[in-house]
Amino acid sequence: MSSVPERGDIEEEYKWNLADLYDDDESWEAAYEAAEEEVEALAAYEGEATADAATLLATLEQYEETMRLVSNVYSYASMRSDEDTRDQEYQAFQARAQSLYASASSAGSFLEPELQSVSRDTIDEFVAEESALEKYDHYFDDVLRMKPHTRSAEVENLLAELSEVTGAAGEVYSMLSNADMEFPSVEGPDGEEVEVTQSNFTKHLKSQDREFRQRVHESFYEEWASVRNAVGSSFKNSVKADIKLAEARNYETAREAALDGPNIPVEVYDTLVDTVNENLDVLHDHAELKREALGVDELQMWDLYAPIVESESPDVSYEEAKEYIVEAVAPLGEEYQRRLEEGLESRWVDVYENTGKRAGAYSGGTYDSQPFILMNYQDDIASMFTLAHELGHSLHSDRSSDEQPYIYSSYEIFVAEVASTVNETLLTHHLLETVEDEQFRRHVLDEYLERFRSTLFRQTMFAEFEHRAHEMAEEGQALTPDVLDELYGDLKETYYEPAEVDDAIAREWMRIPHFYRAFYVYQYSTGISAAVAVVDRIREDGEVAAEEYRNFLASGSREYPLDLLRIAGVDMATPHPVESAIDTYREFVDEMRDLVLD
């Protein structure tokens, strides 16, 4: 029987090195106590922040010092908990860190209302008097922009204190899906029992054995059906929290509130959805190609991830993946390539799945630490692409932290997904141009097509679902599991018209953790669109375009997202990048058809 190892059975070299944050739990405890003191020091500035230029500078510096330390404390606790979500001690660490973060947010909640209580002219006078305030110019602009949606200091403090409550639905969902749910084992292609987990579910759906894929699909969604009411309740309450928080900040809709934070016009969201819907024919062509290649009368939901090529996906070890990725990013310059290689050898990555480990993958870390990457590496092409993806995030953070002050070191998700997908796209071109094994190349092309499908089209479908669910709730409609199943099932039928949509797949919304971060998923679609445009420019213009892209990475959040992307030569205020990406997808679908059907 295939089994998932315990964490203690995994070699240290394949675990992330959290000592870059804290040497041990005792050091974390000391930092936690120090952070509590910093929170108190920050709170003491309430009511005084804009008294004069010197006090404003002191307040901002104390805010940064506090949030840097709290971020370190929170990140360590969160990553320790993710290593094994069953570990009660680290669950307690994470709960304490969340409370600390809420306390820090509450203590600093006075800052923006106090800044908004004075005019821009007054702030400019402070900057003229105290030159150290000059670096905060864009920050001041952003804060003043949000004045119509910022409440009194008392209300802001209350909203900050309620952050644990308003985020509770997502936390409950995370514990249910990662720690409590146990998926059944199924009979594998060789007759042995195979364990199904959230991390290996998609890999099993890529098996050449169609009956095995069906068993995996049905057993997986049967388990979700058993917690249908619990997940439905958590999602409903998450949506309600989004709506209430938007109302508290004087927004008409939750979507408007979510997009206004990073200053993204809602038209960008609508343009994406409209452009994708106008081009669903190419997604239908991909589905029809898959049906023909698989030789089936009807394409079923358990067929969607099956590779078009006949052979099993080749194994790609972690060591091989590292080598391919390092070679692939060469067009981004020697410094970028060297830093990525250093990261892979410095235990940035927690590589393999273990029992209780959080599913999926992410890039984390803080301003004061190295990047950290959580993986559940499965020795396949898909995992190699996921590693490239997360390394894109990590190099973005690494370069931004090196080049920007703390206030601008983070960046919005809208631009983050560009960096990750640039790496994926470069990897695809590198493999197709250098690997001689024809079957391997076909699998690479198939993988990239699948990533296009799941990133541009599937995430846009998610964005439609999320938007409509919020609209329904805002109109007073009840978001019952039946209603959500129907909404999701209808969208699935529209997007995957040539395929047979079954009752089980209508529950797929239940397994999407990103729905607990309001209006997050659309940025995957805009990200891949921008990334394809960036790579096209680099392949055409070479080092000139690569340097512009590196400048974009180094800019952090010093400008608004749309302006940052213009540094890299991409204008997401127009439909052009989305249309161009879809054209690229269409070309790859046609190339694959020539390879497998001729």
Q: By the 8 A CB rule, do 458 and 351 touch?
A: no
Distance CA 264, CA 316 (A): 39
Q: How far is CA 164 from CA 2, 100, 286, 331, 513, in A?
A: 38, 10, 43, 44, 17
* pLDDT tens by residue, 158-204: 888 888 888 899 999 999 998 889 999 999 999 999 999 887 898 89
Q: Is 2 helix (H, G, I), strand (E, B) or coil?
A: strand
Give 301 or 360, the one with higher predicted confidence. 301
**Active site members:** 390
Q: What is the dihedral of CA 104, 366, 92, 13, to 10 degrees?
A: -170
Percent of the chain with pLDDT over 70: 99
Least confident residue range of 59-68, 194-203, 219-228, 331-340:
194-203
Q: How long is the chain?
A: 598
pLDDT at 581 over 60: yes
User: Domain-by-domain residue ranges, the chain?
Assistant: 7-166, 184-315+413-598
Give 203 or 546, the one with higher predicted confidence. 546
pLDDT given for residue 421 in this prediction: 93
Q: What is the mean pLDDT of the chain?
A: 94
Q: By the 8 A CB rule, do 461 and 492 touch?
A: yes
**Burial bucket for residue 429 (CB in 10 Å: 0-12, 13-18, 19+):** middle
187, β-bridge pairs: 193
pLDDT bucket at 447, cuts 50 / 70 / 90: confident
Q: Is 349 helix (H, G, I), strand (E, B) or coil?
A: strand
pLDDT at 40 over 50: yes
DSSP 8-state class, residue 581: H
Cα diameter, the chain = 77
- No. of helices (H) and no. of strands (E), the chain: 26, 7
pLDDT bucket at 2, cuts 50 / 70 / 90: low
Residue 192 tokens read as 């042995």
pLDDT at 1 over 60: no
pLDDT given for residue 200 in this prediction: 86
Residue from 270, 259, 272 nearest 529 by CA: 272
* pLDDT tens by residue, 110-133: 999 999 999 999 999 999 999 999
**Hunting for tokens 């631009």 — which residue is that?**
415
Residue 489 tokens read as 């099932």
Q: What is the pTM of this model?
A: 0.85
Q: By the 8 A CB rule, do 93 and 168 touch?
A: no
Domains 7-166 and 184-315+413-598 belong to one CATH topology = no
* CATH fold of 184-315+413-598: Neurolysin; domain 3 (1.10.1370)
pLDDT bucket at 531, cuts 50 / 70 / 90: very high
Question: Averaging pLDDT over each range in 62-71, 175-184, 204-213, which range is the top one?
Answer: 62-71
Q: Which CATH class is domain 7-166?
A: mainly alpha
Q: By the 8 A CB rule, do 357 and 83 touch?
A: yes
Q: By the 8 A CB rule, do 533 and 552 touch?
A: no
Least confident residue range of 301-315, 404-418, 547-561:
301-315
Beta strand pairing status for 186-187 and 193-194? Answer: antiparallel
